[in-house]
């Protein structure tokens, strides 16, 4: 990390007393940081500042032996956002892989996968899809649905969190990954399979980890080894992409890229315009109608919604 951006209006009195650390849990305005010396402390941001996220490298001024104030956030390598009409929410920072966890039961919402993929592509983060709960008979249909994403080049792992997570461990090696998906897909169960004693380190969230029946309510970072880290995140119901421009959304559909710039109108939004290259590509079987439909739903959502939050 080189550049740092100050988050405090008033700099700390003596920056030599700032301790470097990593945000390992974020819940509202309350954070947990792992200091570079190994201590885990509670911390808050100064004043009304928010915007710190799990995965941030920070500098902290201690206010007690186990408490501190976040004074600085180091420049991020990546940041994964979602946004509603009013504000952006950072899911995780400094990750280089997003693991989209789906399962046949409870039924998953395919558009959410696409939204996660769009967020990953625009953030420059690689995506891995995991179909969990392969022990359930309903998985065959889910597998068919997901074949489309595999054909686009997104790696797909079939897993049963309770039996064998070894293939996932291999895919996580040397990466900082964030697990995302709807509630109940098995994100926490997978992480528990990878790190059976994770709840020991994270005592106050053991209820969420030991039964797997509780919804995870905070993003939490775990070390798989010295070079591999994973972030569990609360189940997503919505994945708003209001912070993106229509052109960004179109480019995030990776198979659209060869056709962008080929439309009759240079400012084609690929909605109803005549001579749209994406329509021709769909007719020629080069773009799947499901993906074009999702793109159009996202583009319409963007056009309908004025940008009323401040980024």
Ligand X SMILES: Nc1nc2c(ncn2[C@@H]2O[C@H](COP(=O)(O)OP(=O)(O)OP(=O)(O)O)[C@@H](O)[C@H]2O)c(=O)[nH]1
- The contact set with Mg ion (CB under 5 A) reads 187-188, 216
CA distances 154 to 79, 130, 147, 166, Å, are: 20, 10, 10, 19
Q: Which residues bind Zn ion (CB under 5 A)?
A: 263, 268, 270, 276
**Looking at 28-36, 37-45, 129-137, 300-308, which segment touches ligand X (CB under 6 A)?**
129-137
Q: Distance between CA atoms of 109 and 23, rounded to whole angstroms?
A: 30
Look up residue 297 and give its two tokens.
């739903």
Q: What is the 3-state secondary structure (H, E, C) of 234-265?
A: CCCCCCCECCCCHHHHHHHCHHHHHHCCCCCC
Q: Which of Mg ion, Zn ion, ligand X, none is residue 263 near (CB under 5 to 8 Å by kind)?
A: Zn ion
Chain centroid, CA 280 distance in Å: 33
Q: Is 135 in the site for ligand X (CB under 6 A)?
A: yes
Q: Give 162's contacts (C-beta < 8 A, 6+ positions apart).
A: 135, 189, 193
Taking CB under 6 A as the criterion, which residues in 225-244 touch ligand X? Answer: 234-235
Q: Distance between CA atoms of 106 and 103, rounded to whole angstroms?
A: 7
Q: Is 107 in the site for ligand X (CB under 6 A)?
A: no
Q: Of residues 183, 206, 245, 262, which one binds ligand X by CB under 6 A?
A: 183
Q: Is 212 in the site for ligand X (CB under 6 A)?
A: yes
Q: Of residues 78, 177, 188, 220, which one binds ligand X by CB under 6 A?
A: 188
Q: Of residues 69, 185, 194, 249, which one binds ligand X by CB under 6 A?
A: 185
- Give me the phi and psi of 121, to 5 degrees please: -60, -45
**Looking at 26-34, 68-76, 144-152, 185-193, which segment touches ligand X (CB under 6 A)?**
185-193
Look up residue 262 and give its two tokens.
């080929």
Q: Of residues 83, 114, 122, 216, which one binds ligand X by CB under 6 A?
A: 216
In a 3-state reduction of DSSP, which class is residue 229? Answer: strand
Q: Which lies closer to ligand X via its Cβ, residue 100 or residue 292?
A: 100
Q: Which of Mg ion, Zn ion, ligand X, none is residue 268 near (CB under 5 to 8 Å by kind)?
A: Zn ion
Q: Which of ligand X, Mg ion, Zn ion, none is residue 262 near (CB under 5 to 8 Å by kind)?
A: none
Residue nearest to ligand X (CB): 235
> Taking Cα atoms as reference points, which of 140, 105, 145, 146 lies closest to residue 128?
146
- How do beta strands 67-74 and 40-45 pair? parallel
Q: At what angle do helices 110-123 and 289-304 cross, to 10 degrees?
A: 70
Q: Is 160 in the site for ligand X (CB under 6 A)?
A: yes
Q: Which lies closer to ligand X via its Cβ, residue 15 or residue 211?
A: 211
**Looking at 20-28, 179-187, 248-256, 287-295, which segment touches ligand X (CB under 6 A)?**
179-187
Q: Distance between CA atoms of 191 and 209, rounded to whole angstroms?
A: 9
Compute the least distance from the CB of residue 138 to ligand X, in Å.
10
- Give me the phi and psi of 291, to 5 degrees please: -75, -40
The residue ranges that bind ligand X (CB under 6 A) are 132-133, 135-136, 160-162, 181, 183-189, 212-213, 215-216, 234-235
């Amino acid at each position: 990390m080189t550049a740092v951006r100050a988050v405090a209006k008033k700099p700390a009195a003596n920056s030599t007393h700032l301790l470097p650390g990593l945000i390992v849990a974020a819940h509202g305005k309350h954070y947990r940081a792992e200091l570079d010396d190994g201590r885990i402390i509670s911390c808050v941001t100064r004043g009304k500042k928010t915007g710190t996220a799990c995965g941030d490298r920070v500098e902290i001024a201690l206010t007690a032996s186990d408490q501190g104030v976040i004074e600085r956030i180091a420049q991020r390598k990546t940041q994964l956002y979602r946004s509603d009409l009013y504000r952006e929410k950072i899911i995780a920072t400094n990750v280089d892989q997003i693991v989209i966890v789906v399962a046949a039961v409870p039924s998953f919402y395919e558009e959410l996968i696409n939204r996660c993929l769009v967020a990953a592509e625009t953030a420059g983060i690689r995506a891995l899809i995991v179909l969990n709960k392969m022990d359930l008979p309903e998985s065959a249909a889910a597998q068919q649905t997901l074949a489309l994403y595999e054909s686009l080049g997104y790696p797909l792992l079939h897993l049963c969190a309770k039996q064998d997570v070894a293939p996932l461990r291999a895919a996580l090696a040397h990466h900082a990954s964030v697990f995302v998906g709807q509630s109940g897909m098995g994100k926490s169960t997978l992480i528990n399979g990878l790190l059976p004693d994770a709840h020991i380190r994270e005592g106050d969230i053991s209820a969420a980890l030991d039964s797997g029946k509780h919804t995870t309510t905070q993003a939490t970072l775990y070390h798989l080894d010295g070079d591999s880290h994973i972030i569990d995140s609360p189940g997503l119901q919505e994945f708003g992409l209001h912070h993106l421009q229509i052109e960004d959304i179109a480019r995030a559909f990776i198979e659209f890229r060869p056709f962008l710039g080929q439309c009759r109108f240079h400012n084609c939004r690929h909605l109803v315009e005549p001579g749209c290259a994406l329509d021709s590509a769909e007719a020629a079987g080069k773009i799947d109608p499901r993906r074009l439909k999702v793109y159009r739903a996202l583009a319409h959502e963007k056009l309908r919604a004025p940008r009323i939050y401040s980024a």
